[in-house]
Amino acid sequence: MFDLPVGTKAEMRRATIFRNSLLELGFSRKQFSVYMRHTENLDKAKQLAQKVKYCLIPNGFVSVLYITDRQYGMVENFFGPVQVENEADNLAKHEQLLLF
């Protein structure tokens, strides 16, 4: 998990480089600032964490969590209900704005 400064264009570029570095190290994105990767054991995970540390940009903040397969297997994901939009109803709501 990480938090990177993105207030200027230069900071945004550095943040993009950092995220791309994570992808090159084999991580996959779980959420915008949460990336994950499976490793064989704790030693390999710690070596990988050092590589992530090497990629860190100025004023960036990274937290590394070590989670076992069993712990990850107990993760519960919840998704909000999908809202189905009816195109005809949408057009009816905005009828007065429909111009050709």
pLDDT in tens, 24-52: 999 999 999 999 999 999 999 999 999 99
Model pTM score: 0.75
Residue 98 clears pLDDT 60, i.e. is over it:
no
pLDDT in tens, 64-79: 999 999 999 999 999 8
d(CA 67, CA 69): 7
pLDDT band at 97 (very low <50, low <70, confident <90, very high): low
Of 32 and 84, more confident = 32
Residue 74 dihedral angles phi and psi, to the nearest 5°: -95, 5
